[in-house]
Amino acid sequence: MYRAAIDIPGPHLDTLRAAAAATKTTVVIGVNERGRHSLGVLYNSVLTIGPDGSLIAVHRKLVPTWAEKLTWTNGDGSTLRVHQTEVGPLGVLACGENTNTLARFALLAQGELVHVANYISLPVAPKDYDMADAIAIRTAAHAFEGKLFSVVSCSTVSEEIIDIVAGDDEEAAHMLRRERSALSGIFGPDGRPVSEPLVDKEGIVYGEIDLARCIAPKQMHDIIGHYNRFDIFSLNVNTAPLQPITFNGAGGPPPEPEGALIGPWREDEIPAR
């Protein structure tokens, strides 16, 4: 997985930026981002790319969810930001952190009007867990509470993936074909879908976003304005980027030793010492 992850900056990002510029599209996409200081660090990251191909933001998931804790590293508050884009003030969260109430409020309080949530298909969830419902509930809740538009994009498990992963294991193949494991859609400020969501299917959901629809419901219940009590409640967010080391001397970090192993390489590319 580490070898298949990407560097930021790097050639994979360059390809995505070129595609965004060629289609004049604002792109929000999840990636596995390799840490630059350690071969053991992977971030569950969400990239926001502008229609001119510029990299607007990289958000690193704050807390890996469930079994993800075995693999991914925590992000930090420096990437919990709302950015002005062609489609409006846009914020992103990755998968399960859309259940994190304080993370969601931190985006709302920065004026978020378009929220993008990236999810994975989850056929390995407990038997009584309906992933499609879980995604819809989270998405509708954030849209309704914040009086904004929420765009949710979820991966799917194709037959090609099933063949590669399950092979001749019929039980594993049956599990991976579990229904209601994914949902993608667009939800409006009333919490309702703007158009028909996709469930367990790969495709494109189209919907019209009119930010003027956020005005009337905001007048009724604006939890980042008149419908709150900031003399009673307060939220502090540490936006400092977390680093494993800080150099206080005027000379900066020491020079790298000759022949230092600065990855990441594929196994067949690692230079001899």
* Block residue for tokens 């230092």: 260
What is the number of alpha carbons within 13 Å of residue 47 lying toward its C-beta?
Answer: 23
**Model pLDDT, residue 264:** 47
Q: What is the pLDDT of residue 257?
A: 54
**Cα(241)–Cα(97) distance, integer angstroms:** 19
Residue 243: the pLDDT is 85
| pTM, rounded to two decimals | 0.89
C-alpha–C-alpha distance, residues 22 and 106, integer Å: 33
d(CA 92, CA 152): 10
Residue 207 is which amino acid? G
pLDDT at 36: 83
Burial class for 267, CB neighbours closer than 10 Å (0-12, 13-18, 19+): exposed
In one-letter notation, the amino acid at residue 196 is E
What's the average pLDDT block by block, 10 residues per block, for the chain (273 residues)? 93 97 97 91 97 97 93 96 97 96 98 97 93 97 98 96 95 96 98 96 95 97 97 96 83 59 47 39
- Across the strands, what pairs with 128? none
